[in-house]
Amino acid sequence: MVKDLVRKNRWVLLGLGVGLVYGLAIRIASRFHWWNSGLGVMAVAFLFATPLVMGFITVFISERQRRLPVWMWFVLPWLSMIGGTIGSLITQLEGYICIVMFLPIGMVCATIGGVIAGLLVRFSRHKRSNEVIAGCVVFLPLLISPWEQSVLYAKAIRNANTFIDIQAPSSVIWKNIERVSPIQARELPDSWSHRIGFPNPVEATLSCEGVGGVRHATFSGGVVFVETIDVWQPLQRLGFNIRAQTDQIPETTLDEHVRVGGPFFDVLHGEYRLERISDKTVRLHLSSQHRVSTDFNWYAEIWTEAIMADLQNRILRVIKARCEREAAATS
């Protein structure tokens, strides 16, 4: 029975296998710089063109030998993409964070490639021209990579703004933001950004009060930010420039493609601001400014802003719980 099933779907399996091998080959080649095309992982040629080609190959091989249901043009490319990401994880070519960020857009591009292949094979009567087109598509990442950075690369400064309402005096809140005593695991709320691999906040120390004071904000996994105070308005605003100690972050903590202070992403500035809402309520704002430097900022910014907002919300919820508990104890 299994043999009959394999024989019946052998061309589908072959398409899936070739598409999967193609994607892994491109990833391995970019990892070890087997050519001088400049193709890297953080490139349109890899993140968008390679999944498209994987989907195209998967459907092209299958459709040429057996007329597929149209829905398979959409679904088959997903299987080769998922197989490729699992292979990258097993071989440690990619970390979990990068896989999560890559998979949504990769699956969309793979589906586009699959639909193009399905339409080409089904509605074109010229078999030889189809083969020529397929050959050109296979080399698409190598055709794009030499020129994409000069055309598409850009640096963007983005902001993430969050706030939380706290039932506590401003003096209590200020004491809990200028310094953050060690955070226990039980204090931290659940977080999707932590589940995909971003480290937990641990504590923040302060060398001295006032402009010029230095905070050391520590996160788990050896991540440390040196924060120099540039705005000091007690009970109102606390702002600081941020410099990540990139050279001290272990490789096992953050993937090289999402490392803070690296070529693609950096956090530049942070600020707390207290806004009185009522006699008993203060709204605590936490904003940050970060840099995104890629060939596809329009997509990268979606992730960086969401991750920064999630990280900030975790910190704000810890501060809220501490301040309200302290205020309740005092009253």
Mean pLDDT, to the nearest integer, of 250-258? 63
Q: What are phi and psi of 213, to 5 degrees?
A: -65, 150
Q: What are phi and psi of 42, to 5 degrees?
A: -85, 60
End-of-domain residue from the set 119, 152, 185:
152
Q: Tell me how far apart the alpha carbons of residues 228 and 206 are, in angstroms, rounded to a whole number.
A: 9
* Domain co-membership, 142 together with 163: no
What is the chain's mean pLDDT, rounded? 87
Mean pLDDT, to the nearest integer, of 56-80? 90
pLDDT, tens digit, for every residue of 257-312?
677 778 888 999 999 999 999 989 999 999 999 999 999 999 999 999 999 999 99
Count of domains for the chain: 2
* Domain co-membership, 200 together with 282: yes
Q: Tell me how far apart the alpha carbons of residues 170 and 274 are, in angstroms, rounded to a whole number.
A: 7
CA–CA–CA angle 22, 40, 19 (5° rounding): 10
Structure tokens at 183: 């955070």
Find the length of the chain: 331
Give the pLDDT of residue 7.
56
CATH number for the domain including 210? 3.30.530.20
- 180 DSSP assignment: B
Range of 181's domain?
154-330
* Domain co-membership, 119 together with 45: yes
Stated pTM of the model: 0.85
* Domain co-membership, 62 together with 75: yes
* Domain co-membership, 319 together with 171: yes
Is 50 exceeded by the pLDDT of residue 5? no
* Domain co-membership, 214 together with 134: no
- Residue 106 confidence class, pLDDT cut points 50, 70, 90: very high
- 34 DSSP assignment: -
Q: Tell me how far apart the alpha carbons of residues 305 and 316 are, in angstroms, rounded to a whole number.
A: 16
* Domain co-membership, 171 together with 298: yes
- Residue 132 confidence class, pLDDT cut points 50, 70, 90: confident
Contacts of 66 (CB under 8 A, 6+ apart): 11, 12
End-of-domain residue from the set 87, 122, 152:
152
* Domain co-membership, 17 together with 76: yes
End-of-domain residue from the set 152, 170, 205:
152
* Domain co-membership, 185 together with 256: yes
Structure tokens at 28: 């391995």
316 versus 46: which is more confidently predicted? 316
* Domain co-membership, 298 together with 174: yes
* Domain co-membership, 226 together with 255: yes
* Domain co-membership, 295 together with 166: yes
109 versus 129: which is more confidently predicted? 109
Among residues of the chain, what percentage have pLDDT more than 70? 89
CA–CA–CA angle 11, 16, 22 (5° rounding): 125
